[in-house]
Amino acid sequence: MLPLLFSLSLLSPGLAAVAPRPRSVITRGDGFVRASVNAVQHAPRLRARQNAVDLENMDSGTRYAIDVAVGTPPQTVSLIIDTGSPELWVNPRCDTANDAAACAAEPQYDPDGSSSLADTGVTNVITYGKGNVSIQYVFETISIGSATITEQVIGVGLDSYDIPMGILGLSPDTDGTADYPYVLDTMASQAVIASRAFSLDLRSVSDPSGAVIFGGVDTGKFSGTLQKLPILAPSQTPTGADRYWVSLTGVGMTQPDGSADRTPANAIDVPVFLDSGGTLSRLPTAIFQAIGNSFPGAQFDARSGFFVVPDCSALADSGGTVDFFFAGDVAVIRVPFAEFVWQPASAGNSAECLLGVLPDDDEPVLGDSFLRAAYVVFDQDNRALHIAQAASCGAENLVAIGKGVDAVPSATGLCEGAAQPTSAGDLDVAATQAPTRTFSGSAPAVTAPLGGPGPVKSMAKTTGTPNPTGLAAPKETADKKNAAVGGVSVGLGAGVALMVANIVAWTL
């Protein structure tokens, strides 16, 4: 059928076997589709121990994936949920993936086995900071459970580097030029959901309750009231790229004894974007340092650029949180210490971990180390996020998101909120500070995190961006497709390439 040059999954000898993962549990209601999100940790690496303090085994970012069926008959693949990129593509090349064994353990889509595929003849390259993929665009049928959309443009991987799973991008287009309707656009235009909105509830690896709900909200998964935050206009952001940017108006730290420090009112107003494909958060240097200096036991490791926490076991259930304030004090997300650290899948007996934050003064991002504590509704139609403290209280109450400006309900979660801090001193982020504690372990070699594709760094398009007029639509659907392209509003769009912050820069 299609002359795609598929790179086969080549499993190198000697790689550890990977246990099968649970598949997504998908439920569908009137106007919404809920898919459980599987937290996938990087497979342990076979490695030579080079030194006593072996941080190399901390190469274990967590990826968040859902199962999506592609083609006719449906072929199920797992895709990373990425709010930092807009496109869907399948079939990474495994022998050059950064986690070859895990990649090879995942099913791949066979285009020759699908009767609904239509080729476009258009190829593109999507570039991430660490890793890239060359794709060929095809039209396909995509299903999430029983929710099906047809004639969706997706990429089929021809070649890729450093990416172990396909990606389901859910961000707006970075530069507002729509080359084709994305999955969320098509779900709305084909009436699977009422408007372009979804909820994201990421949890730690040990908690299977995480979910993405297209077109819906689960009020049983948060405490307090969902607070509406406008998505910043591209002109208000540091790079001009259209992403899920909001204003971070305060940062604080609540210690296990209940005392708390936070930035004074109006001290900061930092645009940050929410990126589920990023293992870590990246914040302006002064905030990074203030967090590291006040996080109990954290020691700055100049070599890797990370704060190291020598004994992470003390963090579990400590009651301490790293606190993020939005819209003044209206929305507060308190990230438990144990969720904020980046814990190794393969640490063996080591109790060390790294703080899940790095400095970034150019394009700050809140990644998974923040999102695990937040319940977030992403509403593209109204350019708003709605955010509340994630919680688990055994309840499930799925509410469909309708249409119009108040489509996302300002719902109150069914779960009980946690205790609030007892005092509030100042967290000083006025100037960068020297680390108060430095790491004295022997030269750790930290390599890049291997979770999702990472935070988006640049809006630069790479070569071969698809042009709708260049897409060879299936005969009977060309009109529909063009109509759909015309219907995509400004601010969404397509195409693009994401350049992700290259964490290797921090590795020496």
Ligand X SMILES: *[C@@H]1O[C@H](CO)[C@@H](O)[C@H](O)[C@H]1NC(C)=O
Please give the structure tokens belonging to residue 329: 């004090």
Number of residues binding to ligand X, judged by CB under 6 A: 4
CA–CA gap between residue 253 and residue 318 (Å, rounded): 13
Q: Which CB, 125 or 154, lies closer to ligand X?
A: 125
Q: Does 124 bind ligand X (CB under 6 A)?
A: no
Beta strand extents in 71-144 (DSSP E only): 75-82, 88-90, 118-127, 132-144
Q: Which CB, 133 or 399, lies closer to ligand X?
A: 133
Whether 329 is catalytic is no
Please give the structure tokens belonging to residue 354: 């790294």
Residues 210-269 that bind ligand X (CB under 6 A): none
Q: Which CB, 265 or 504, lies closer to ligand X?
A: 504
The residue within the footprint of ligand X, chosen from 78, 108, 120, 132 (CB under 6 A), is 132
The residue within the footprint of ligand X, chosen from 57, 85, 98, 127 (CB under 6 A), is 127
Q: Which CB, 161 or 480, lies closer to ligand X?
A: 161
* Residue (of 386, 84, 387) closest to 239 by Cα position: 84
Please give the structure tokens belonging to residue 152: 């969706």
In angstroms, what is the minimal distance from the CB of 92 to ligand X? 12
**What is the CB-side half-sphere exposure of residue 122 using CA atoms within 13 A?**
23
- The pattern of x and - marking residues 84 through 123 that bind ligand X according to CB under 6 A reads ----------------------------------------
Q: What is the residue-wise DSSP string for 400-460?
A: E--SSTT-S--PBPSBPPPPPPS--EE---SS----SSB--SS--------SSS--EEE--
Q: Does 507 bind ligand X (CB under 6 A)?
A: no
HEC string for 170-226: CCCCCCCCCCCCCHHHHHHHCCCCCCCEEEEECCCCCCCCCEEEECEEEHHHEEEEE
**Taking a C-beta distance cutoff of 8 angstroms, is the pair 118, 111 a contact?**
no
Whether 275 is catalytic is yes
- The pattern of x and - marking residues 144 through 163 that bind ligand X according to CB under 6 A reads -----------------x--
In angstroms, what is the minimal distance from the CB of 96 to ligand X? 7
The residue within the footprint of ligand X, chosen from 39, 80, 122, 125 (CB under 6 A), is 125
In angstroms, what is the minimal distance from the CB of 166 to ligand X? 16
Residue where the block lists tokens 């964490």: 503
List 301's β-bridge partners, or say none. 306
Q: Which CB, 161 or 435, lies closer to ligand X?
A: 161
> Which residue in the list 275, 301, 323, 360 is annotated as catalytic?
275
Residue where the block lists tokens 């000898």: 13
Residue where the block lists tokens 């299903």: 143
Q: Does 447 bind ligand X (CB under 6 A)?
A: no
In angstroms, what is the minimal distance from the CB of 12 to ligand X? 16
Q: Does 503 bind ligand X (CB under 6 A)?
A: no
- Residues carrying an active site annotation: 82, 275
Residues engaged in binding ligand X (CB under 6 A): 125, 127, 132, 161
